[in-house]
Chains A and B, each alone.
Chain A
Amino acid sequence: MNRRPVEERLRDFNEVATGLSKESAVLEAKRCMGCPKPLCVDGCPVSIDIPGFINAIAEEDFRKASRIVKADNMLPAICGRVCPQEAQCQGTCILGKKGKPVRIGDLERFVADWERENGVEAPETAPTTGKHVAIVGSGPAGITAASECLRAGHEVTIFESLHEAGGVLTYGIPAFRMPKGIVKFEIDQVLALGAELKLNHIVGRSVAVDELLAYDAVFIGTGAGLPYFMGIEGENYGGVYSANEFLTRVNLMHADKFPEYDTPIIRGSRVAVVGGGNVAMDSARVARRLGAKVYLIYRRREDDLPARAEEIENAVQEGVEFVCCANPTKILGGPEVQGIECNRMDMCELDESGRPIPRPCTGVDSTFTLDVDVVIEAIGQGPNPLLAGLIPDLKRGRRGNIEVDEDGRTSIPHVFAGGDIATGAATVIWAMGSAKKAAASINKMLSEN
């Protein structure tokens, strides 16, 4: 994927990756071998007919390509941008065994962008059934479940606690990776199928649990909205943010445009981001755009970073300094952040997942300090406990997630769940995949009674 020059992109929040031209998309599509047993489809959590849509691009029938993608995925412009394709569809592409896999993600994005510019065709929906489904949360899982239920002819009401729909796509993923106009556009396509969207509604508070349970079916997709903190000294000093807060201030509330927008943020001249996942990369790259020198502190080695390779590469290009094999032990200062103290880490034996277990070094030089004025903790999120905790009889897992079977059923017969609230923090497409399964169960249940 082509990317804008670093100097240019650090000056704004516009998209970094520029997308494929029509000519290059067609050329890329022609590389597809059209395998009789396409492994790429198995690698896709929502099972898009990948060879089908790629073949349509090769034939330059982009409308047909779009129809094929949207039969399985109503959010192609989003998925084309933020899916970890290298580990999914592209990761299993047979061409990748000896050379380069087909750039399936870029092609999906191309198709979605083409349709947006050339007029959208609404998918067909079934006749109305008179059944009413409540969807809690308007993130990737909720929107996907909504579109599946709408297409099956049910009435759908989506409840969103924030003032904008989109969940993590809106508050979490920065615009340079996921332009907000595109998020809104794709969500609007789903709403146009007839969903009612209720913003500023907190289910469990604005909508009582018994009102919720009165719907014919309920889908809970409230996400992983509970930030974890390290639990170290100094964590509540001014200038320590969870990644959720830092990203929400910028992405949702536009704190980067303060004082044109009212929400403030401490930009920091030197910022430490703790963590190594995609959220850490997003936070580091946002902090760079706010003008700070940025250190990314990660416990293991650079090779072990869990973030997507492309995002790590972007962060490196944008001047984020990686401080690996280090673990913060204390935030210095008070009441404002003045520094962060870290322990160097040794990589010892491998754990079950094959990653080395980091152990703190001891002795001289085992600790060091970085002078920073902002610390952003991007060490993960747990399931948002608010709603699940209020529903008696709803079985929950050890970490507070809602327990579901493989079809997205919870312990309550007409209540289903999907996305991070069920699976734990994962990716956009995994959330969509699990939501799709749950929606299929909802549609099956509602057709039977």
Chain B
Amino acid sequence: MYKIVKRDQIADNIFEYWINAPHVTKNGCAGQFVVIRIDEHGERIPLTISGIRGDDVRIVFMAVGKTTQQLAALQEGESIQDIAGPLGTPSEVKKWGRCAVIGGGVGIACLPILARELREAGNEVTGIIGARNEGLLLLEDELRNACDELVICTDDGSKGHHGFPADILKEKVAAKELDAVWIIGPAIMMKITSMATLNTGIKTFVSLNPIMVDGTGMCGSCRVTIGGETKFACVDGPEFDAHQVDWDELMNRQRTYTGQEKESLEHYHEHKCRCGDH
């Protein structure tokens, strides 16, 4: 069992957990992920490593489906059954020069650890984060500390730039201010944002989040097409060259279980009511 040593709600429906898992933190790096299973009946879900502090690993998630809602219902001091990791290939941290780390929604949570590693490697780092509204922005102060510069965007203009991170990225690209870019967020956001660096020669990484089971290359559930070749996101990724990704296929595969996910959530709420739980 792995203990939740700290639990915070950090934005509307978004939660930050620190979980005690020395085997994950010992060698974990930016760009890697963990697979968790809440209990005996739980599914295995991948979550990106958002931070490491001593023996504790941070995960940040939005409570949308059954598993994330159940996770959100756990309290500080409670435990989850399993956490495996670190999994996946670390981010390609080296001296690039000027880097931008761009986050959308919950993807923002993956940026501070990456920004810090990039700066330690001697890069100048600009953070660009976007959310639908101010209430969905997260880890802003932490990220400001981790970056040389931070730009905030909201779709509704409630804070910072009224628009998308892609707008800011386009400006930076036009001003020839970048050597490498990371974009982490929902698939559609990564697809659209990465167009800003197409044919510019700027290395652009995205962190893909397909459906996974084991996370160790054993099942092939997370296969994605990169430059016409099938890759397993869990071991070959999860970070890939944005301009080589078959985005439509990724998004189709992400929707494979939409019906079952709804059923699972309904079953969970029905069951909670019957138990008089929470």
Contacts and interface: CB of A to CB of B under 8 A. Distances in A.
Interface of A: 161-163, 171, 198-202, 205-208, 225-227, 229, 231, 235-239, 241-242, 244-245, 248-249, 253-254, 258-264, 266, 334-335, 384-386
Nearest to A377: B220
A347 B230 CA distance: 31
Given A206-B24, A206-B85, A236 B230 contact: yes
A266 B86 contact: no
Contacts of A242: 219-221
B83 interface: yes
22 contacts: A162-B84, A163-B37, A171-B218, A198-B23, A200-B82, A200-B83, A202-B84, A202-B216, A206-B27, A225-B216, A229-B230, A231-B230, A238-B256, A253-B43, A259-B263, A261-B41, A262-B42, A262-B67, A264-B264, A334-B252, A335-B253, A384-B218
B174 to A, nearest CB: 35
B7 interface: no
Contact of A245 (B66, B221, B225, B253): B221
Given A206-B24, A208-B27, A262-B67, A199 B218 contact: no
A161 B220 contact: no
Contact of A205 (B86, B220, B257, B263): B86
B216 A386 contact: yes
B176 interface: no
Interface string B20-61: 000110110000100001000111100000000000000000
B97 to A, nearest CB: 29
Contact of B82 (A199, A237, A241, A259): A199
A236 B214 contact: no
B148 interface: no
Nearest to B84: A200
Contacts of A205: 27, 32, 85-87
Contacts of A253: 43-44, 213
Interface string B203-220: 000000000011011111
Contacts of A261: 41, 43
User: Looking at chain A's contact residues, is the secondary structure mostly helix, strand, loop, or mixed?
Assistant: loop
Interface in B69-100: 81-87
B261 interface: yes
Nearest to B26: A206
Contacts of A161: 84, 214, 216
Given A163-B82, A200-B23, A264 B216 contact: no
Contacts of A235: 230
B255 interface: yes
Contact of B43 (A199, A239, A263): A263
Q: Name the interface size band of chain B.
A: 35 or more
Contacts of B249: 236, 335
Nearest to B83: A200
Interface string B244-259: 0000010011011100
Given A260-B41, A335-B253, 4 more contacts: A163-B84, A231-B230, A248-B219, A266-B256
Per CB-CB distance, the 7 closest pairs between chain A and chain B, nearest first, are A264-B260, A335-B252, A245-B219, A200-B84, A238-B256, A225-B218, A262-B43
Q: Which of A208, A259, A261 has the most CB of B within 10 A?
A: A259
Contacts of A163: 37, 44, 81-82, 84
B257 A385 contact: no
Q: Which of B24, B219, B256 has the most CB of A within 10 A?
A: B219
A335 to B, nearest CB: 4
B113 interface: no
Nearest to B212: A245
B267 interface: yes
A266 B255 CA distance: 12
B235 interface: yes
Contacts of B253: 236, 238, 335
Contacts of B119: none
A300 to B, nearest CB: 24
Interface string B151-166: 0000000000000000
B255 A386 contact: no
Given A161-B84, A162-B214, A245-B219, A238 B23 contact: no
Q: Which of B66, B221, B253 has the most CB of A within 10 A?
A: B221
B66 A262 contact: yes
A264 B86 contact: no
Contacts of B263: 258-259
B268 to A, nearest CB: 8
Nearest to A387: B216
B216 to A, nearest CB: 5
A208 B214 CA distance: 20
B85 A202 contact: yes
B85 A245 contact: no
A226 B213 contact: no
Interface string B261-273: 1011001100000
B159 to A, nearest CB: 36
Contacts of A263: 43-44, 213
A206 B218 CA distance: 17
B192 to A, nearest CB: 20
A207 to B, nearest CB: 7
Nearest to A238: B256
B84 A258 contact: no
Nearest to B266: A259
Contacts of A334: 252
B220 A229 contact: yes
A225 B217 contact: yes
Contacts of A258: 260, 263-264
Contact of B252 (A201, A225, A238): A238
Contacts of A231: 230
Contacts of B26: 206, 208
A263 B81 CA distance: 15
Contacts of B219: 227, 242, 244-245, 248
